Amino acid sequence: MAGREIALTGGDSSRRADSANDQPWTVFGPKLRKGVPMPSTTTYRAQRALTGDELTAIRKQIEAAGSPAEIVATVVRAVFTVLLAPLGESLDDYNRDRQLIPGQFALPQTQWEAISDAALNRADAFAARALLALELIDVMPCTYPDPDAPVPPVERVDQRPYEHVLTVAREATDVIAAASAHCDRLGAAFGVGSPEYREAVTSWQHGLSRLFAMGLGARTYVTRDGQLSLLVRCEPGFLYGIVFHPVQRR
């Protein structure tokens, strides 16, 4: 898997802060170059596996991060400090005139995943897993296969908030009841083994299950959006809909 090279530029504080835990995403430090196309070859400026001790140290630094923005900055500084060292460079050598391109560097796939997992797990403490996942795609190096790269085991700690507060407007409860009744009518009309019924029930159950998941934060607000549709607003500012679409006749 190759990481994207369109990277987060430091100093972007225009992102919306919708809760006390969701701070503006300002990454201080070196500039990461945006808009660079992916290389057509697999030649990188630096491509190597981290030692077990290096990977453990990066995990510990991530664990100490005190905000989503600090997690991103910690990942960038920790990872590229290690990758730049063999080149005789450091992050201090980069600035607005000389920007770092993450896609010119590579880590083993397993170690990339271990660092990402540590960052996302820490992001759970701030209800920012989804937002952080998008940011990591931009700032992490590329990957290459290396089954022998060391990945020390680590005990996973659930850092999610203890409670998920789900607020459902009364009109939205009517929509939920109407959608369930709609599924029952489909079963009566087409049969409970029909594709029409199974697809409707499966997608509806999936949509309801997502309301209780905490990947998009620990506070979720559900309102009516139509006769058979819901509008869902999550704590970090994500907005999506659960909508019944009519079957297209062929």
Which pLDDT value is given to residue 131?
87
Strand partners, 46: 105
Residue 250: pLDDT band (50, 70, 90) is low
**Residue 33 confidence (pLDDT):** 52
Higher pLDDT, 173 or 26: 173
- Under the banding of pLDDT at 50, 70 and 90, the label for residue 44 is very high
Task: Work out the pLDDT band at 41, boundaries 50, 70, 90.
Answer: low
Return the closest-CA partner of residue 211 out of 169, 164, 151, 173.
164
Q: Which whole number is the average pLDDT over 33-42? A: 50
Report residue 128: phi and psi, to 5°. Answer: -130, 25
pLDDT at 64 over 90: yes
- Which pLDDT tens digit goes with each residue over 83-133? 999 999 999 999 888 999 999 999 999 999 999 999 999 999 988 898 899
Q: How far apart are CA 124 and CA 103, in angstroms?
A: 27
pLDDT at position 192: 93
pLDDT at 193: 94
pTM above 0.75, yes or no: no
